[in-house]
Amino acid sequence: MLVTTQPIAASHTPSHASSSLTSAVSSGRWTAAVPRWRQHSSTRRTVSKISCKRVSLVDAGTGEARVLTIEPPEKLKTTVVLKARVTVHFKEKRKIENITILSTLLGKLMYKNWLFIELISSELDPATGEEKTTGQIEAKYVSNKDDFYTFEASIKVSGSFGTVGAVRLDNDHEREMFIKDVTVFPDGDESDAVSFHCESWVIDNEKNFNDDRRVFFSLKSYLPSQTPEGLKMLRKRELETIRGNGYGERLAIDRIYDYDVYNDLGDLTTANLRPVLGGSKELPYPRRCRTGRTKTKNVNGEFTELRVSDNYVPRDEAFSEDKQQAFTTKFILAGLHALEVLKVLKDREASFPSMAAIDALFEDGFKNMPAPEEGGTVAGYIFSVIKDSVFDILKGDFAGMKHMLDEILDFETPEVHQRDKLAWFRDQEFARETLAGMNPMNIKLVTESEFPIVSQLDEETYGPRESLLTKELIEEQINGVMTAEEAIKNKKLFMLDYHDALLPYVNMVRELSESRDSKVNTTLYGSRTLFFLTKDGTLKPIAIELTRPKNKKTGKLQWREVFTPGGSVTDSWLWQLAKTHVLAHDTGYHQLINHWLRTHCCVEPYIIAANRQLSQMHPIYRLLHPHFRYTMEINAQARANLINAGGIIENNFSPNKYCLELSSVVYRDFWRFDMEALPNDLIRRGMAVQGKDGKLELTIEDYPYANDGLLIWNAIKDWASDYVKHYYPTAKDIVDDEELQGWWTEVRTKGHADKQDEPWWPMLDSHENLVQVLTTIMWITSGHHAAVNFGQYPFAGYFPNRPTIARKNIPLEMGRQGMKELVENPEKVLLDTLPSQQQALLVLVTLNLLSSHSPEEEYMGTHVEPAWTAERGIRSAFNKFQVRMKDILDQIDEWNEDPRRRNRHGPGVVPYTLLRPCDGNPFDEKSEMEMGIPNSISI
């Protein structure tokens, strides 16, 4: 046993939260008292001077993370001198404030100590059984490079100190500072340095008498049961602090993670009243981050929070200042939202005057736009308002951001239009994009059990359930090459099915446009589109069925019609219009479900639960952490400016005010965690089957999203498997890990509380299940999100190719008058169906923004967490993953050059690169689609 005669830093008991305060109640009033840890601040304790004996860095050939351990021979009382180097960054503001920061910094440097560090042993003091620390030592300014300042402290440590398990930092500066990292090494021997990866904002909270000292653990990861004695209490307290007590309004400086329902999308006005999403059987929803803002009861008796432009997120979830584009994102989204609120145009519904006018958008910065009736160009006006409003917010500062803004508002020709000016019109492209476009996640096989096609909706409410897509119609459209039964048996028939999901909303959406003083112009159908798989492996669309349900209020009967490519000019135009409606359905489902709900929204609870239940020294926290970067922040911005009542999404997508409610209903009826795994999703849609050897066989061999996605999925799974095996030798270790079990329980019971009783939630009771859960989460945040996010502008930027909204009913439904308009001016009917000029421009700006990569993005396979490299076993597993990702990159490039793969290669065909791993140079003259797969959902 090692013995020390004098406990180090005896004056500093471990102190956090309430135990650190000596507040007193006096005469019925709270009297502010000096926190205990501050009571000795004027005489910060250092260790007594004794000689150095021995320092060893334990790696010991075990491959475990390096730790710094002081190990003197027994009975010798010694000290060693360690250096602690802290790298910090101060919050940047406007130029004038930078000067203030600088002068403050200089003043502080000269007159006051403001950064203190203490080392904490992994062992408890054997004499007292309490925490063993060095006491707080002042860290002095050494140098700065760019925006980062280096401070160092010399710390004399007892020879019996043991392993340095954590560092505790105290910011006495009046401003918050970003602690990048801390390295500790024997004085004079930096080669033996150990790192503490921090990447966290630390505030001086002295005025509030809160213990704001922050603890950071070493890179060595520990399961809870393995936690060294000296760190157990710290580990527990850190999690308690992060969980908070569930009360009070959160401040921007807080770092508390908690849950709430989506109750701040609307406001109290009738027009913007929206139901609370989450917390009910009818409208269940994943939880978002609790802000604690005051709730008000609305006329429907629901408690809602008043909307704000800046939603709280825990401090370290906020975008970094370096993420200039993200910073700009906020302002552009705010600017766009302001435009929606201001309703800047007299004629918000003006259609484009011609298809040529749409093309002109991309040719000369709107200058070729024909003038609307009032004079001037609508597009140019919107553009200037957006730009002016953003510039106004920026107040002339930040040249870099201005440059970025110019780039975002400079519309390049979307790739699908750049490569083939007629792609938007072609049936082949319409079908190809269901396999290799921005929404390859809804195409499904028609199976024998689903034929004849029948709706699951109530006939009494919606009208007849049997589809008009009959055996006879199918056989006619495939020219009798086989029977419908044979086509189904041979897996040749596929469908995009937006019938049952949309039909219940058709009458409600139409009512929005039909009221006398309505400013809304939209419409909706339920739709089904059938495709036939041809010999060359491509899909051919053969029929579209549009349905309007019966309306009990108006007495209107159900209306439905089947459209086919047809031979006549009339049929051809009707077919094109039917495709436009289906594309609006598909684009809406993509945005609201496959993008927002399944990635951004469903992932937030995993993040909240991970921070509340998994210590930062937990290996699973360290595996998932890069996959959670900036998601809470972008979601908070989306709540403020995108998905809110009257916001950009509602005003520019067909379901209008029902957009988010629709996503809640799909969450209720469709979403299952286990089906979010790519292989299960493909099997569920009939797009793959599991062979006898366990391998997946794709129903359509050349299905680029599935081809590339499965490569990525399998690589992630192997990486997760190696990682899990390293830390959990047996299944019992998984079951006994109370933090891991706590995390998963909370994901189910709090984060996805409305679905907590579903039987399909996997249990974390085996390696297989844990790996599957982790792989699913890592896939959703990386591959799934990349596949639906970065193709938005390249495919939907040219909006005739993928309109977000269809505004006009198809002429056949409108009877004689509708057909008359079609005959007289078919192009006008199409242009009146497509988004208005204002809608198109707003969507263009939004998609351009949302499809772009951040300059400081972290990509899967190239970004390495410090804790991964610190552990030999993990380092080699990650190296394997990296090599694998490089191989996948080469494979994808090869496939895109393969003429046999017609769904990704051909004249004017956009190659499929959305799941192409980063080659190390994301910005090296690449399109947004081929830059790589970001680890997290950050845009």
Nearer to Fe ion, 121 or 789 (CB): 789
Q: What is the DSSP letter of 47?
A: P
921 in active site: no
CB 718 within 8 A of CB 702: no
Q: Where are the alpha helices (DSSP H) in 310-414?
A: 324-342, 355-360, 378-394, 399-408
Which residue number has the CB closest to Fe ion?
Answer: 789
Work out how close the CB of 131 gets to Fe ion at its nearest, in angstroms, rounded to a whole number.
43
- The residues that touch Fe ion, with contacts defined as CB under 5 A, are 789
CB 414 within 8 A of CB 433: no
Alpha carbon distance 23, 434 (integer Å): 64
Nearer to Fe ion, 805 or 847 (CB): 847
Work out how close the CB of 280 gets to Fe ion at its nearest, in angstroms, rounded to a whole number.
27
585 in active site: no
The answer for residues whose C-beta is within 8 angstroms of residue 149's C-beta and 6 or more apart is 87, 88, 89, 90, 105, 141, 143
Q: Which of 600, 627, 752, 905 is catalytic?
A: 600
Work out how close the CB of 279 gets to Fe ion at its nearest, in angstroms, rounded to a whole number.
25
Alpha carbon distance 455, 643 (integer Å): 30
Work out how close the CB of 362 gets to Fe ion at its nearest, in angstroms, rounded to a whole number.
23
Nearer to Fe ion, 671 or 719 (CB): 671
Nearer to Fe ion, 455 or 789 (CB): 789
769 in active site: no
Cα–Cα nearest to 902, from 701, 710, 706, 708: 701
SS (H, E, C) 172-191: CCCCCEEEEEEEEEECCCHH
User: CA 758, 762, 763: angle at the middle one, nearest 5?
Assistant: 110
The answer for residues whose C-beta is within 8 angstroms of residue 499's C-beta and 6 or more apart is 455, 467, 526, 527, 528, 545, 547
Q: What is the DSSP letter of 755?
A: G
Distances (CA, A) of 504 to 462, 655, 664, 770: 8, 11, 13, 38
Alpha carbon distance 50, 762 (integer Å): 56
Alpha-carbon dihedral 423, 428, 432, 438, rounded to 10 degrees: 30
Q: Which of 785, 809, 896, 903 is catalytic?
A: 785
Alpha carbon distance 350, 366 (integer Å): 16
CB 699 within 8 A of CB 689: yes
784 in active site: no
User: CA 699, 702, 708: angle at the middle one, nearest 5?
Assistant: 100
Nearer to Fe ion, 711 or 787 (CB): 787
Cβ of 232: how many Cβ atoms within 10 Å? 15
Distance linking the first and last C-alpha atoms of the chain: 54
Q: Which of 417, 585, 595, 853 is catalytic?
A: 595
Work out how close the CB of 595 gets to Fe ion at its nearest, in angstroms, rounded to a whole number.
6
Cβ of 669: how many Cβ atoms within 10 Å? 11
Q: Which of 171, 442, 594, 789 is catalytic?
A: 789
CB 582 within 8 A of CB 544: yes
935 in active site: no
Tokens of 121: 């042993």
Nearer to Fe ion, 707 or 789 (CB): 789
Nearer to Fe ion, 304 or 789 (CB): 789
Alpha carbon distance 547, 558 (integer Å): 7
Work out how close the CB of 442 gets to Fe ion at its nearest, in angstroms, rounded to a whole number.
18
Among all residues, which ones are annotated catalytic?
A: 595, 600, 785, 789, 939
